[in-house]
């Protein structure tokens, strides 16, 4: 019984692993990219959510870029060069955003140490 179970798991894992390694790339869509861009003239809406002229023209540009075979990152880069960092919802890790990305993780490590102290050392 246990052996069968084990075999089953191995089979499933190998199938999935194979898919992950050799599976098709996720298709790039206007929907996916426009969700990660801010509509600059709106109150806190993404390009995807907005129906403003600005958002609609950005969607058309994204569509063209995809047809030109640009990668996801190239498209984000195009928009940041044009409009600045404000337009992308996923801030790049650089000297200005290092605290943003690292602070929670440092806090997490610090919290872990506190718990270890509380539990193992007195």
* Minimum separation from the CB atom of position 91 to other proteins (A): 5
Q: What is the smallest separation between the CB atom of 21 and other proteins, expressed in angstroms?
A: 10
Using the minimum distance from each CB to other proteins, give the nearer residue, 43 or 68.
43
CB nearer other proteins, residue 3 or residue 119: 119
What is the closest distance, in whole angstroms, from the C-beta atom of residue 96 to other proteins in the complex?
A: 6
Instruction: Dump the DSSP string for 60-91.
Output: HHHHHHHHTT--HHHHHHHHHHHH-GGGBSS-
120 φ/ψ sector (left φ>0, alpha ψ -120 to 50, else beta): alpha
Dist CA 27 CA 67 (whole Å)? 12
Residue number, 54 or 86, with CB nearest to other proteins: 86
The residues facing 53 across adjacent strands are none
Site of interaction with other proteins (CB under 8 A): 5, 8-9, 12-13, 15-16, 19-20, 23-26, 31, 35-36, 38, 42-46, 48-51, 53, 84-91, 96-97, 99-101, 103-105, 107-108, 111-112, 115, 118-120, 122
Which residues face 38 on adjacent strands?
46
Q: How far is CA 120 from CA 7, 108, 112, in A?
A: 40, 18, 12
- Nearest distance in Å: CB 68, other proteins: 21
């Amino acid at each position: 019984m246990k052996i069968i179970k084990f075999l089953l798991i191995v089979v499933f894992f190998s199938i999935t692993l194979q898919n992950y390694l050799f599976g098709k790339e996720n298709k790039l869509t206007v929907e996916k990219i426009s969700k990660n861009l801010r509509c600059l003239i709106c109150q806190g809406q993404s390009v995807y959510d907005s129906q403003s002229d600005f958002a609609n023209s950005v969607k058309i540009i994204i569509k063209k870029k995809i047809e030109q075979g640009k990668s996801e990152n190239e498209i984000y880069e195009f928009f940041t060069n044009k409009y600045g960092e404000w337009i992308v919802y996923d801030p790049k890790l650089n000297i200005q955003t290092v605290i943003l990305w690292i602070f929670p993780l440092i806090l997490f490590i610090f919290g872990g140490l506190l718990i270890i102290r509380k539990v193992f050392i007195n």
